[in-house]
Structure 1
Amino acid sequence: MKKSVFVSFSLLAALSGCATQLDVGAEKVRIVTATQKEYCESLGIVSTDQQLGLNKASNSMNKAINEVARRGGNAIFLVSTGTSGLDGVAVTAEALRCKSR
């Protein structure tokens, strides 16, 4: 009985405890279109992936947005999204610094 409770608890913790939250400042990062990004400075390519958890897509996206904010960016252009590994989600994006319009 103790073993099954431990296994159940471990599985639950692994599936639910890996949510990626937005860092301070990352909430200001916005998604832009190809036309909009022409008026922005590129800060490089960001690649992220999420292998575990229930919300792999949003966690991978939040990781990318956090990295844009760390680089001093305020916008993100999505290059691609797809699978990673057996069951993960990958995001490739361009970090941008755009002037206010």
Structure 2
Amino acid sequence: MRRYARALAGSQKSGDAYVKACLQAIVADASVFDPSLGTKVALYRLFHTLWNATQMPPSEAEGAVSIFEKTTQQRLAAMTPESRQTLLLTTLEGFKPREAATIIGRSEAEV
């Protein structure tokens, strides 16, 4: 999830803050985690709930170490948030469209 959070947030520091908030939310109130979805899907779904509630635009390749990484972050930032999330969930994290739909709260057809 750190890799995914970094891709969304634009830096490892920002991404890690979201992952930490997600894990703290589970510790504070286990009912925010729905194990019936499967552990990985439930964790990413909670992450998205927090992300969407506090989302800030990705930084402009903050912390990028190569021209490839900077270019990738710029291209991802140009996408709509849901398109970016769906692309990253299915290509970077390997979720099936059905799982990505559950995570972002959309229908499989929309994904």
The answer to whether the superposition gives a TM-score over 0.5 is no
Flag the structure with higher helix content.
2
Normalised by the size of structure 1, how large is the TM-score? 0.30
Q: Relative contact order (alpha carbons < 8 A, sep ≥ 6): 1 or 2 greater? A: 1
Which protein is richer in strand relative to its size? 1
TM-score (normalizing by structure 2): 0.28
